[in-house]
A and B are shown apart, each in its own frame.
Chain A
Amino acid sequence: MRRTDPSALLALAALSAVVLVCSTPLLWMAVASFRPQNFGGLDMAALWPDFMPTLANFAEALDSANFPLLYLNTVIVCAGTLGVQLVTVTLAGYAFARLRFPGKELVFYAFLLQLMLVPPILIVPNLVTISRLGLYDNLIGVMAPYFASAFGVFLMRQTFRTIPKDFEEAAIVDGANWWQLVWRVLIPLARPGMIAFGIVSVVSHWNEFLWPLMVISSPDNQTLTIGLASFTRGAESASQWGVIAAGTFLVAAPLLLAFALFQRQFVNSFLFSGVK
């Protein structure tokens, strides 16, 4: 049983403060999405709901873009990308973590290069490549540049490295071949890392804007962020904060739900409770 020491209480207080600050903008957004459009107020920022909540903002947001189709396209892109990524990064991560071969460090940094390349420079060359492959205006064209993920390889390498070799040695002693070793021993033990990577990948591709904008031309292939942008931005105009907030929730809600479910999964991982 834990004793409650004062330092624990202090830590709790500090944590709560951080969480509060973190969440204020989001609380405001939640309130704003239900607030009837009113620009007459200098108290637009009020967090305390002092009005009759309305669904008008959500209605307008839903009306401004074909959300069901956008959801579908975005799910396809995220699932497709993650599916291929899990294969490429697990294989490559294992290679860097456990195998020895000449030029290993050099190749690893060659991988890291992908992280450091910046999108503005990549747009034209990659669009030309996609186009030559016949993937222009195609969801696969949106996914293709990400099938290899230096980030994933980096994460998996480090995850595999922290798994004690005893597990592997025990398995070898039991007569497992290389493939069984990876599939039955390493991958289950690497679950927290893989789930973390999954979360990162899905979130980043769910919210990606510029590259899908460049590749996709048919409205039928557009993703959520493009739909959201179509009614929340304007160069020469005023802003409807309520509709922007409502639209944003529509885009972020599935992610939020998924995260709430998944994070308990990997935090609860039994992993190394010292039991072999």
Chain B
Amino acid sequence: MSRLASAALAAALTFSLGSGAALAATEIEMFFPVPVEGKLAKEMKNLVDRFNAEHPDIKATAVYTGSYDETNIKTRAAIKAGRPPAAVIMSANFVLEYQINDEIQPLDPLVEADGQTPDAYMSQFWPALHGNARFAEKIWAVPFHNSTPLLYYNADHFREVGLDPANPPATWAEWVDAAKKLTVRDGDSIKRYGLMIPGNYDYLGWIMTALTMSNGGLYYNPAFGGEVYYDTPSMLGALTLVDDLVRKHKVMPSGVTDGKAVSTGFFAGQASMVLLSTGSLSFIRENMKSDYGVAFVPRNLRNAVAIGGASLIMPKGLSPERQKASWTLIKWLTAPGVSGEWSRFTGYFAPNKGAYDLPEMKTFIAKNPDAKVAIDQLQYAQSWFATYNTVAVRKALEDEVQAVLSGKKLPAEALKAAQTKADEVMRPYVEQTALRLPQ
């Protein structure tokens, strides 16, 4: 074949292949964990199918990837294997670490390409959620679903002991008092606990954050991932409260009670009050046989809790087409309509403020006033604790709190040990940042 002819052939092939590729849909995959029971995996698939129908040039697949932790492992492994997913629904407090390790894409360029400023974009989400999404001067994540801890209480039990279900305890003093009244004893053993709180890793840290913040504390430095405030009066007060509830007032079980055991206990009438996530709200609403109520986490010095939940992040290493497709998916999933839908389905609250202006949501809240409590508590919510090596730093505290719950340690010494351990874990980071001084 002559050179000209073969060049022409090559050009023709490339041209046809190229235009063929432009016609084919961009394929993207999104990893998602299922943090609460229910047919969430199925619902997510339905949502993504709808998205695909509305966007013929994109073919998105929703991939169930286990728990928050497993999703984290799989995402990192996939990134290392050179196959980053286009989007991941990641626990909100892991986002900082991905940013520190330079594994995710800042979203500002995509926001600006749409013609918006980052400020304007973020303003559609509740202020409490900004801390975990936007830091180091860039937007790293878009909130997908969020929660706060709530005080669930058994209204029937309340009435039984002469408490008013319409006036749940709002301060620690009222809380302890109510718990004492609600606890049913039989000699030395306890037949019904006044209060139960989850004691397993991750949940416990979250609850402790809420209690410490309600006691005026900060828990961690939101501006710098190398400092936590464990050995402080605010946390000491919170931990002593917990210790007293078990040992002095004897209204809470000793040892670690897993989150599942807490919710099962609530259903079975074994516990009159529990501190659980809003994420359990839909499930409790559908399955609780007794009358129940929800309230803010009681305060000592102020009303304050930490948010929980997950956000959408975009790993680095995606081609421009996949980035754009991923961004379209992210925007669609976090728009008021879809955000509200997912919220009604799961019990998480919708991060997008606009969701609450829509008629479907207003009707829903009118019918289910308990859903409003989490929203109302949002004005007192702060960002979720995230530092360098978040899990290890959190575990340093949780191990000590668990020891206190089991009666093995006293609060003061536990917190000192926790602080020392946490500082040790963060030392490599601190040495390269705050303690790195000009020579």
- Tell whether any CB of A sits under 8 Å from a CB of B in the complex: yes
Q: Does B380 contact A (CB under 8 A)?
A: no
Q: Which of A10-18, A100-108, A228-236 is the interface stretch?
A: A228-236
Give Cα A59 to B121, complex, Å. Answer: 43
Residue of A nearest to B308 (CB): A236
B280 lies within 8 A of A236 (CB): yes
Q: Is the CB of B37 within 8 A of A237?
A: yes
Residues from 1 to 55 in A contacting B, C-beta threshold 8 Å: 37-42, 44
Which B13-68 residues have C-beta < 8 A from chain A? Answer: 29, 31, 33-39, 41-42, 45, 61-68
State how many angstroms separate the Cβ of B29 from the closest Cβ of chain A: 6
* Main secondary structure on B side of the interface with A: mixed
Interface string of B231-271 (1 = CB under 8 A from A): 00000000000000000000000000001100110111110
A119, B362: Cα distance in complex, Å: 49
By the criterion of a CB under 8 Å from any partner CB, how many residues of chain B are at the interface? 54
Contact check, B264 vs A238: say whether CB atoms are below 8 A apart: yes
Report B151 CB to chain A, min CB distance, Å: 15
Tell which of A38, A127, A230, A238 touches B78, judged by Cβ atoms closer than 8 Å. Answer: A127
Task: Return the CB mask of A214-233 against B: 1 if under 8 Å, else 0.
Answer: 10011100100010011111
Chain A: CB-nearest residue to B68: A235
* CB nearest neighbor in A for B266: A238
Tell me, yes or no, whether B429 is within 8 Å of chain A by CB.
Answer: no
Contacts of B68 in A (CB 8 A): 235
Interchain CB contact under 8 A, B269 and A42: yes
Give, as a whole number of angstroms, the nearest-CB distance from B70 to chain A. Answer: 6
Complexed CA–CA distance, A105 and B422 (Å): 47
Query: What chain B residues lie within 8 Å of A238 (beta carbons)?
Result: 37, 260, 263-264, 266-267, 280, 283-284, 287
Is B300 in contact with chain A by the CB < 8 A criterion? no
Q: Measured between C-beta atoms, what is the minimum distance from B262 to chain A in Å?
A: 9
Q: A231-B41, A236-B279 are in contact. Are A213 and B65 (CB under 8 A)?
A: yes
Q: Does A256 contact B (CB under 8 A)?
A: no
Contact B81 A40 (CB under 8 A): no
Cβ of A235 and Cβ of B64 under 8 Å apart? no
- Is B226 located at the chain interface by the 8 A CB criterion? no
A128 at the interface (CB under 8 A from B): yes
Whether A91 is near chain B, meaning CB under 8 Å from some CB there, is no
Q: Does B9 contact A (CB under 8 A)?
A: no
Q: Is B82 an interface residue (CB 8 A)?
A: yes
A131 contacts across to B, CB distance below 8 A: 81-83
Q: Are B289 and A237 in contact (CB under 8 A)?
A: no
**B37 CB contacts on chain A under 8 angstroms:** 231-234, 237-240
Within 8 A of B (CB), among A164-220: 210, 213-214, 217-219
CB pair A39–B83 under 8 Å, yes or no, is no
Quick check: B83 and A136 within 8 Å, CB to CB? Answer: yes
Q: Out of A217, A222, A226, A234, which one reaches B29, CB within 8 Å?
A: A217
Q: Are B279 and A237 in contact (CB under 8 A)?
A: yes
A65 to chain B: which residues have CB within 8 Å? 41-42
Question: Chain B residues with Cβ under 8 A from A232's Cβ?
Answer: 37
Interface residue B355 (Cβ < 8 Å from any Cβ of A): no
In contact, A128 and B36 (Cβ under 8 angstroms):
no
Instruction: State A213–B33 Cα separation when bound (angstroms).
Output: 12
The 5 closest A-B pairs by CB, nearest first: A39-B267, A238-B263, A40-B289, A237-B36, A236-B277
A interface, CB within 8 angstroms of B: 37-42, 44, 60, 63-65, 123-124, 127-128, 130-131, 136-137, 210, 213-214, 217-219, 222, 226, 229-240
Q: Give B contacts to A, CB under 8 Å.
A: 29, 31, 33-39, 41-42, 45, 61-68, 70, 73-74, 76-78, 80-83, 85, 147, 202-203, 259-260, 263-264, 266-270, 276-277, 279-280, 283-284, 287-290, 308
Having A213-B70, A237-B260, one finds 18 other A-B pairs with CB under 8 Å, namely A39-B264, A39-B288, A40-B267, A40-B290, A128-B80, A131-B81, A136-B81, A217-B31, A219-B62, A219-B63, A219-B64, A231-B34, A231-B38, A233-B66, A235-B203, A235-B259, A238-B37, A238-B266
